[in-house]
Structure 1
Amino acid sequence: MSFPPQLRIPATYMRGGTSKGVFFALNDLPLAAQTAGKARDSLLLSVIGSPDPYHKHTDGMGGATSSTSKTVILAKSERAGFDVDYLFGQVAIDKPVIDWSGNCGNLTAAVGAFAINNKLIDPARVPQNGLAVVRIWQLNIQKAIVAHIPVTDGQVQETGDFELDGVTFPAAEIKVEFIDPADATEPLFPTGNKVDKLKVPNVGVLDATLINAGIPTIFIRAHDVGCTGCELQDAINNNVDALAMFEAIRAHGALKMGLINNLGEASERQHTPKVAFVAPPDRYTASSGRVVEATHTDLLVRALSMGKLHHAMMGTAAVAIATAAAIKGTLVNDAAGGKARESVVFGHPSGTLEVGAKATFTEGRWQVDKAVMSRSARILMHGEVHVPAKS
């Protein structure tokens, strides 16, 4: 019996922020995978190596974590005023599922560099030296993002001295602006409340801030669920009961936010919403061994992604943190001291991150103009990814 040879597809393996993923130009994908559907999902699952019952991704490009099991498809934008369309797929590790419901804020930092390197934007928009302003249309959430990409001698500048907690080596700083990160057709607070009572069986009734900015996020107090806000990954990810509790909170929060119609749908929508717990500043030791003093943060935040505590912070969740921190009366703002603010420094398992946002209450609803943060990105490998063809 003969078997077809592997497919060979041009691809770039990139780190963006504290995530990494496999990037494709839309036109480089096989024709059947250039449109949404089973062929595309099947191909990308094979690229990553999912579903993997061993949870290792030995037979694919994935890293067996939510931060490293990601795919990106980019194309020249046909939308006026934008350079590139950005589509993100979060690949489940042990299920044949790709969640297309949200964005990856971390990988957004790599989108502009990929677009420039692959000539997806007008060369006239790329300076010989300086910052290239790349206008990104995020297809998953239908939002505008602006990335400021450093350029030296006409080439993307990847090396630099900007240090990002959660990333091993310094690199060039990339400023990313998430324009109007809340859904314009939906309220910032889906229930209309800054704090809701969330009833979760076997957990209790929890105060929760349910917000839709950057990515739908459920914020709860750390001490309400027996945590301190200083936890590192092992404290949560090695605790089966804790993971089950947080997944129950996430599912019931998703239902209250109107993101799912019944609790059973939560398992098929793993990427959104996120669940995070907050606490006032406290001294803790980050995963690198560095001591983070209480005076160096405004609050502590720990967040779960794809059922596990994240090793740092998702970029889109950082947008939600910045937005909620800017609005008095939310649990995030309360943890940060309860005062009006337009930026916040929060502690996460790998260190700290500063994010900014400005929220205003206009015509009976909260609005956010933009949220801003600095990330970095670089190419890890470029060439072709090999994928077994379907016989």
Structure 2
Amino acid sequence: MSHTPQIRIAATYMRGGTSKGVFFRLADLPPAAQVPGPARDALLLRVLGSPDPYQKQVDGMGGATSSTSKAVILSPSASPDHDVDYLFGQVSIDTPFVDWSGNCGNLSAAVGPFAIANGLVDPARIPADGVVEVRIWQANIEKTIVSRVPITNGQVQETGDFELDGVTFPAAEVPVAFMNPADGEGALFPTGNLVDELEVPAEVVAGGRLKATLINAGIPTIFVNAADLGYTGTELQEAINGDPAALLRFETLRAHGALRMGLIKDVSEAGSRQHTPKVAFVAPPSGYTASSGRQVAAEEIDLLVRALSMGKLHHAMMGTAAVAIAAAAAIPGTLVNLAAGGAERDSVCFGHPSGTLRVGAKASRAGDDWQVEQVTMSRSARVLMEGWVRVPGEVAG
């Protein structure tokens, strides 16, 4: 009986922010996977170890959470205004599905360092010591990201003393700016309203109506008040992820919000768009104990935010959702802004399950509408392993 041997593909396993994923150069992928389609999806699923009915991804590189089941494909940019094209795939853990509908804001911080180390940035632009500004084209959402990568002795600096809640060890700080982050062609609020009365089934909330801010910034996000769902905003993962009824309730809310935002035509389509939109609940500041045991005082933060990704409460905060939080907080009248005390602001510090995060946003009026010029935050990134991933040869097409 003959067997197809494994093949190896050059890859780098990287942490970016509070996520980690497998990074590839487009040119290193097998020819069939260098173009979008079933062959690419099948390859990435096998690399990460999905679909896994046990939800452990033991036979792959995935870490069995939405934060650790990710893939990135990078190539020299076709645009003269950008250094690198960045494509992100959110790999489902238990179903044969790769979601290409959005970005990963956390892994965005690792794109610049990877691009420099792998020859995707002109070497003439890299100083012996200093900072390289890497202009990234985010191909999923067709937006620009600007990353400022520290350089020491001509190499990407990865170690440092910058601490990020949700990441165990300090590293070098990588400031990231998300330019004009409104989704699509600038429809920041797809319904035209800062707050909507969202119609949902009675099992989501009594009366079937729920206040929500629906925003397209960084990633389409549905914000609701924690109190309206019977929460305080201080919940940690187990309070939500250990409650199947709560998870079903949030998924139902997400499906109806996606429909109202025009992302799907029927609520039944939400299951094929797992990565977007996100759902988050907000509350005014209150003290709580973070998952690390750290005591977060109410005076440290402007508001509380808890967000779900791929059907589970996130252990910290998705980078793209942080973009949405910053944008919504900067605009008076949104639920996020009201939870933070109202009024215009150019930055906000929010509490999440792992601690706190500060993000900045530049928002301005454009006639009767609002526009967000950019959202900024600091993350860190580090190479965990580099070399080759191996997959059975038949997977590569």
After TM superposition, the score normalised by the length of structure 2 is 0.98
Q: Which SS does the other structure have where 2:282 is aligned?
A: strand
Q: Which SS does the other structure have where 2:8 is aligned?
A: strand
2:112 equivalent to 1:91: no
- Asked whether the 8 Å contact 2:183–2:219 carries over to 1, the reply is no
2:216 to 202, 212, 217: 212
2:380 equivalent to 1:379: no
Aligned-partner Cα distance in 2 for 1:141–1:128? 33
| Number of the residue aligned with 1:194 | 194
How far the C-alpha of 1:375 sits from its partner, in A, is 0.1
| Number of the residue aligned with 2:145 | 145
1:66 maps to a residue whose letter is S
Q: CA offsets, 1:134-154, max 9 Å, x none?
A: 000000000000000000000
Q: Which SS does the other structure have where 2:327 is aligned?
A: helix
Alignment of 1:163-178 (within 5 A): 163-178=163-178
- Asked whether the 8 Å contact 1:133–1:146 carries over to 2, the reply is yes
Q: Which SS does the other structure have where 2:394 is aligned?
A: coil
Moved over 2 A (4+): none
Alignment of 1:1-391 (within 5 A): 1-183=1-183, 185-201=185-201, 202-203=203-204, 204-390=208-394
Q: CA offsets, 1:174-212, max 9 Å, x none?
A: 000000001362421000000001111122211000000
1:267 maps to a residue whose letter is G
Q: CA offsets, 1:116-166, max 9 Å, x none?
A: 010011111111100010000000000000000000000000000000000
- Asked whether the 8 Å contact 1:26–1:74 carries over to 2, the reply is yes
Aligned-partner Cα distance in 1 for 2:194–2:368? 14
- Runs of 5+ unmatched residues, structure 1: none
- Asked whether the 8 Å contact 1:145–1:177 carries over to 2, the reply is yes
Q: Which SS does the other structure have where 2:121 is aligned?
A: coil
Aligned-partner Cα distance in 1 for 2:328–2:73? 30
Aligned-partner Cα distance in 1 for 2:281–2:350? 12
- Asked whether the 8 Å contact 1:187–1:365 carries over to 2, the reply is no
Q: Which SS does the other structure have where 1:216 is aligned?
A: strand
Aligned-partner Cα distance in 2 for 1:223–1:21? 34
- Asked whether the 8 Å contact 1:15–1:110 carries over to 2, the reply is yes
Aligned-partner Cα distance in 2 for 1:187–1:107? 25
Q: Which SS does the other structure have where 1:390 is aligned?
A: helix
| RMSD over equivalenced CA pairs, Å | 0.8
- Asked whether the 8 Å contact 2:112–2:147 carries over to 1, the reply is yes
Q: CA offsets, 1:8-31, max 9 Å, x none?
A: 000000000000000000000000
Aligned-partner Cα distance in 1 for 2:135–2:187? 25
Aligned-partner Cα distance in 1 for 2:15–2:360? 23
Q: CA offsets, 1:40-78, max 9 Å, x none?
A: 000000000000000100000000100000000000001
Q: Which SS does the other structure have where 2:341 is aligned?
A: coil
1:381 maps to a residue whose letter is M
- Runs of 5+ unmatched residues, structure 2: none
After TM superposition, the score normalised by the length of structure 1 is 0.99
Aligned-partner Cα distance in 1 for 2:364–2:183? 15
1:304 maps to a residue whose letter is L
Give me the identity figure in percent: 70
Aligned-partner Cα distance in 2 for 1:237–1:146? 34
1:173 maps to a residue whose letter is E
2:9 maps to a residue whose letter is I
